[in-house]
Amino acid sequence: MSSLLGSPRPPPRALSPVSLLGLRYPVAMVPVLLFESAWKPIWLALVAVPQGGAMDAATREVAVSCSLAVLILAVIPWRFAFTRYVTRRGDRRR
């Protein structure tokens, strides 16, 4: 069975509008960047690392693209993300 079953690989047609939104509203896309930087290491740890060198070509391709998450980590405005999503108080319930 292929380890790509259920692998989140959005088609380029769906990724292009999201990328354009990121150019127009970069701060609003920070949660998407945080999500991307969270699931990729999880996939690497749970799928790619246990297979080691016995990966098929498709799994290796996804592993390489997931390992490029380091680039995502480099562009996240960490100070903003920490103050906005960690230290900021939530809204009160009405």
Q: 1: helix, coil or strand?
A: coil
For the stretch 44-91, pLDDT in tens is 888 888 888 788 888 888 888 888 877 888 888 899 999 998 898 888
Q: Domain range for residue 71?
A: 30-87
Residue 19 domain-assigned? no
Q: Is 56 within the bounds of a domain?
A: yes
| Token pair 């562009």: residue | 75
**Which pLDDT score, from 0 to 100, does residue 68 have?**
81
8 is a domain residue: no
> What is the total count of domains within the chain?
1
Distance CA 77, CA 81 (A): 6
**Helix/strand/coil for 82:** helix
2-52 pLDDT per residue, tens:
555 545 554 455 556 777 777 888 888 888 888 888 888 888 888 888 888
The verdict on residue 13 lying in a domain is no
